[in-house]
Amino acid sequence: MIKNLIKPSTGLIFLITIVLLGSRLFAGQSENTPVIHLDQTTHTFPTAFEGEQLSHSFKIINRGTADLEILDVTHT
Amino acid sequence: MTRYDRVIPPGGTGQITLGIDTSKEIDEFQKKAIVWSNDPQEERIALFLKGEVKPHISLVPGGYLSLQGIRRQVPVEKLEIINNHKQPLKITAVIHDLPDQIQWRLKENIPGFSYTLEVEAISTKAGDFSGHLVVQTDLTQKPELVIIVNGYIEEN
């Protein structure tokens, strides 16, 4: 009698646990994303003479919860 | 030249460094770069570099002279040489490869900063010619300016 009472409840708990774990895992996947942020996207250099090498560094911030990967930087 | 951090952890910062070779640019320029990332909301972001590149020495109206006309009546052609630096320069020599066709005079408008180069056709024969005038300066960044000279001399 006791065995019969335990068996269904154990099965139910197991099922609930699986559902909860699954939903948490799924929720975690959607929350853990990178978020790219740049304070500045345009830079204007002061007037330069021909032949000078000019360079500028843009700061990137990852405001997300997963690694931000810079896949490529292309020029147009 | 482009350098960038490949992976930036959550809350972290990184850099994208873009470079410009100004020997390939003149006047105003604008360069665009696209940053591709794994951010699902913003997979691409455009970055812009803007500026202006000046020559060390300007030739006005340009580095080309055309001497055209009837023999012994060819108008004198002029061009202005302008030093764009704050420090004065010296023109140390003017040489050319057209000894029988042209002669030149250099006038100093503003010493060290502005000169007028006058070129005159002295050819005694009708016909076309082409050559170079080289203006040499003491400016380290621009020791030579090459001016193309073309002549079209007609018979009377």
Please give the pLDDT value at position A1. Answer: 47
Domain range annotation of chain B: 2-53, 57-154
Q: Please answer whether residues B56 and B84 qualify as being in contact, where contact means their C-beta atoms are separated by less than 8 angstroms.
A: yes
Q: What is the CATH number of domain B57-154?
A: 2.60.40.10
Which chain B residues are closer than 8 Å to A28 by Cβ? none
On the CB side of B5, CA atoms within 13 Å amount to 16
B140 in contact with chain A, both atoms CB, cutoff 8 A? no
Which chain B residues are closer than 8 Å to A69 by Cβ? 6-7, 37-38
Residue among B8, B38, B49 whose CB faces A60 most closely:
B8
ipTM of the complex: 0.76
Residues linked to residue B48 through DSSP beta bridges, in sequence order = A42, B32
DSSP state of B24: G
Contact: A76, B32; criterion CB under 8 Å: yes
- Cα–Cα distance between B4 and A56 in angstroms, integer? 12
Please give the pLDDT value at position A76. Answer: 81
Residue B84 has pLDDT above 80, yes or no: yes
Q: What is the mean pLDDT of chain B?
A: 95
Count helices and strands in chain A by DSSP H and E runs: 1, 5
Q: What is the pLDDT of residues B89-139, one digit of tens each?
A: 999 999 999 999 999 999 999 999 999 999 999 988 899 999 999 999 999
Low-confidence ranges of chain A (pLDDT < 50): 1-2, 6, 20-29
For an interface test with A, the pick among B1, B2, B3, B8 (most A C-beta atoms closer than 10 Å) comes out as B8
Q: SS3 for B137? A: strand
Instruction: Please report the DSSP string for B74-133 in residue order.
Output: PPPEEEEEEE-SSS---EEEEEES-TTTEEEEEEEEETTTEEEEEEEE--SS-EEEEEEE
Closest to A57 measured CA to CA, from B35, B50, B37, B3: B3
Q: Which amino acid is at A28?
A: G
Segment 40-99 of chain B within 8 Å of chain A by CB: 40-42, 45-56, 84-85
What is the greatest pairwise CA distance in chain B? 83
Q: Which two tokens mark B135?
A: 């203006």
Comparison of pLDDT for B44 and A5, the residue scoring more: B44
SS3 labels along A23-47: HHHHHHHHHCCCCEEECCCEEECCC
B34 in contact with chain A, both atoms CB, cutoff 8 A? yes
- Cα–Cα distance between B98 and B30 in angstroms, integer? 41
